[in-house]
Structure formats: C-alpha cells, structure tokens
Amino acid sequence: MYIVIKFLENIKKFLRIKIKIFYFKLKYGKRLKIGSHLIFEKRFNINMSKNGKLVIGNNNYFNNDCSINCHNEIVIGDDNLFGENVKMYDHSHVFNTKNYNIKKNYIEKEIKIGNYNWICSNAILLYKTNIGSGNVIGANVVLNSKIDNDYIVKSNDNLEIIKIERR
C-alpha cells in the first residue's frame, strides 16, 4: 500500500510541475526558456516584466518558496540546487534621488549563474550577480557581485547602517 501511495504522490507532483511550466510558458512566451528536468517544490514563482528574459538550464531544483523576479535578464546554467526561500531580483529601486517615486525608477543589470552551484536557504541574488560554477552561496547571503568558480560565500553577521546621501 505504501508503494502505491508514494507512486500517486509522485504522479501528482509531476503533473503539478508540468502544468505550472505550461502556465509560465503560456504567460511569458519566447522570453522564457526552460531546459529539461526542472523540478520545483511548493510556491515557486516567476515574475517577468514585458522586457524581461529568463533562461533556466537543465536539471535545476528549486525548493519551497523560491521566486525569480526579472525586469532585464536572468540566465541560470545546469545542475543547480536552490534551497528554500531563495529570491532573485535583476533590478533594484533608485532611492537616492530627491524624486521619491521609487516605484518607477529602476536600476537593471542581468544575473548569471553557472553550473553545479548550491544556493542555500534564504539567499537573495540581486542585480549584477554573476556566479561561476561549483560554488556554495551560504544561507542568508545577500549577493550582487561576481564570484568565480569553486568558492564558498558566507554571510557576515555584522549589521552595518549607512546614511543615504541625497543628490
């Protein structure tokens, strides 16, 4: 009986993934490219602006509550593992002007992720992030820089508060 239940659960998960991929492709069309064997758990979401482009390679796994938010371009290679609650934003609000309309002013720069990376739980990948291959991006890391191949990146627990200089 256990084997039958497990089999039915796997079919349910497979169908849920296929339906959601179909929905994303229908919604975003040619701006979204997804390789084979994409697996994601509950509450995986993709948000793209009308100019956004997203490429997800083969054999990628996204755990619960991951989201990809794309205004510009995000390219994800093959065989990556994303822990729970990983977020990606290839844009940020412009906040250091006297015009406080931060909803309309964005900085946009692509995110690139190579192959065989482990992006741990609660990591946030911001615009300008460029991760090579074979890396571990630790839990709770906020990243917007370039990481070459074969590094471990961990968070610094020091809180830093910086005054905004308005121009």
> What amino acid occupies position 142?
V
The CATH classification of domain 2-153, taken from the options 3.40.50.300, 2.160.10.10, 3.30.360.10, 3.40.50.2020: 2.160.10.10
Task: Render pLDDT for 102-155 as a digit per residue (tens, 0 to 9).
Answer: 666 788 899 999 999 999 999 999 999 999 999 999 999 999 999 999 999 988
Task: Render pLDDT for 47-59 as a digit per residue (tens, 0 to 9).
Answer: 999 999 999 999 9
Domain boundaries, the chain: 2-153
Q: What is the pTM of this model?
A: 0.88
Contacts of 72 (CB under 8 A, 6+ apart): 51, 52, 53, 90, 91, 108, 109, 110, 127
